[in-house]
């Protein structure tokens, strides 16, 4: 990361380097040797996957991104004020899964108007995404101190140093919905363990709504989400020497009404055998058999409240759009 620009940026840190190849092999062994077959969502986000996801967020069918952005634009100062009214104290904004921080600048801009000192602590598994985030925020808001951290926050939760101000943890983009309820509780409990009384969490969640709107958001007419899903097979071909024929798999989306989640799958179009040399595996797929690649849980006020309470947070305030498609919820540490 280039630290010669005018904005304040600290050297990018990386947690105990993760061996991405070994992690991929472990997940292939865990998920593809059993039925039903599955792969974990983080495998979708290599450089190409991250690029495709950024494209998805601009699609007309994909309402979560623009809806969340509109909520932030409408209530940014109110959100910052709700964290604490002592404007003389510094504010540290920790963001899990920051990506390119496309929407975070809205909140940081409000924070710089209300606080004398603002520190942005973005955490993401992609160093490329963090570089883009820091470049963008640094140019937009040169007074914000940047402390990026490359880490898989699920397997290696960030440790926060003692701080003389308020910490606002952000987990937006409905990223929490990509995890099972138990996994989501663990992530939030780990985060809660690093926060102190007076700190807060801003959680973005996609709410339960009509199925047609949900399905369109994950199966767009231009096929961008399909390309994003299929890219996980390209990644295994490139990184593990697999021989997936992506023309023999197709993107499938399902609404699981029992678990209140959208599911993304890759469906085999024929009987086929796939070799993954680096994992020393040969896998036989039957026609119509699927690999479950991602879930996106949707929330009701009841399930959202239960999740936050179980993780040790108390809901203070919530903001939503007029159609109540999406919610930003501020929960505090007591």
Number of domains into which the chain is organized? 2
CA 172 to chain centre: 7
Q: Is residue 182 domain-shared with residue 324, that is, in the same domain? A: yes
Q: Is residue 72 domain-shared with residue 196, that is, in the same domain? A: yes
For residue 262, give its domain range. 27-44+222-297
Q: Judge whether residue 315 has pLDDT over 60.
A: yes
pTM of the model: 0.87
Q: Is residue 197 domain-shared with residue 237, that is, in the same domain? A: no
pLDDT at 13 (0 to 100): 52
pLDDT at 142 (0 to 100): 95
pLDDT at 45 (0 to 100): 86
Residues 165-179, mean pLDDT to the nearest whole number = 94
Region of poorest pLDDT, from 20-24, 25-29, 282-286, 330-334: 20-24
Tens digit of pLDDT for each residue in 83-135? 987 888 999 999 999 988 889 999 999 999 999 999 999 998 888 888 989 99
Q: Is residue 36 domain-shared with residue 113, that is, in the same domain? A: no
Q: Is residue 181 domain-shared with residue 191, that is, in the same domain? A: yes
- pLDDT > 90: percent of the chain: 79
Q: Is residue 129 domain-shared with residue 199, that is, in the same domain? A: yes
Residues 233-257, mean pLDDT to the nearest whole number = 97
Tens digit of pLDDT for each residue in 4-20? 334 444 444 544 444 67
- pLDDT > 70: percent of the chain: 94
Tens digit of pLDDT for each residue in 195-227? 999 899 999 999 999 999 999 999 999 999 999
Residues 164-175, mean pLDDT to the nearest whole number = 94
Q: Is residue 292 domain-shared with residue 158, that is, in the same domain? A: no
Show the CA angle centred on residue 233, arms to residues 228 and 238, nearest 5°: 110
Q: Is residue 126 domain-shared with residue 36, that is, in the same domain? A: no
In a domain, 192, yes or no: yes
Q: How confident is the model at residue 67 (pLDDT cuts 50, 70, 90)?
A: very high
């Amino acid at each position: 990361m280039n630290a010669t620009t005018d904005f304040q940026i600290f050297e990018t840190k990386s947690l105990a380097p993760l061996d991405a190849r070994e992690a991929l092999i472990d997940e292939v062994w865990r998920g593809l040797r059993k039925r039903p077959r599955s792969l974990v969502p983080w495998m979708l986000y290599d450089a190409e996957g991250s690029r495709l996801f950024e494209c998805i967020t601009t699609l007309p069918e994909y309402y979560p991104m623009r809806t969340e952005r509109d909520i932030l634009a409408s209530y940014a100062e109110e959100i910052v004020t709700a964290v604490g009214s002592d404007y003389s104290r510094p504010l540290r904004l920790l963001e899990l899964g920051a990506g390119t921080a496309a929407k975070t600048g809205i909140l940081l801009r409000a924070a710089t108007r209300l606080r004398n000192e603002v520190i942005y602590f973005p955490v993401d598994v992609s160093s490329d995404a963090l570089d883009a985030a820091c470049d963008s925020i640094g140019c937009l808001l040169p007074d914000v101190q940047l402390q990026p951290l490359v880490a898989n926050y699920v397997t290696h939760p960030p440790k926060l140093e003692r701080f003389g101000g308020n910490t606002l943890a952000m987990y937006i983009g409905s990223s929490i919905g990509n995890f099972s309820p138990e996994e989501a509780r663990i992530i939030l409990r780990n985060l809660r363990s690093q926060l102190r009384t007076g700190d807060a969490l801003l959680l973005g969640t996609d709410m339960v709504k009509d199925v047609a709107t949900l399905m369109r958001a994950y199966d767009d007419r231009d096929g961008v989400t399909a390309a994003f899903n299929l890219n996980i097979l390209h990644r295994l071909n490139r990184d593990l020497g697999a021989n997936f024929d992506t023309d023999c798999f197709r993107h499938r989306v399902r609404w699981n009404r029992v678990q209140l989640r959208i599911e993304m799958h890759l469906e085999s179009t024929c009987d086929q055998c796939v070799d993954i040399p680096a994992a020393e595996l040969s896998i036989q797929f039957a026609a119509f058999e699927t690999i479950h690649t991602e879930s996106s849980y949707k929330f009701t006020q009841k399930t959202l409240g239960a999740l936050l309470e179980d993780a040790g947070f108390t809901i203070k305030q919530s903001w939503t759009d007029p159609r109540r498609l999406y919610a930003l919820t501020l929960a505090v540490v007591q």
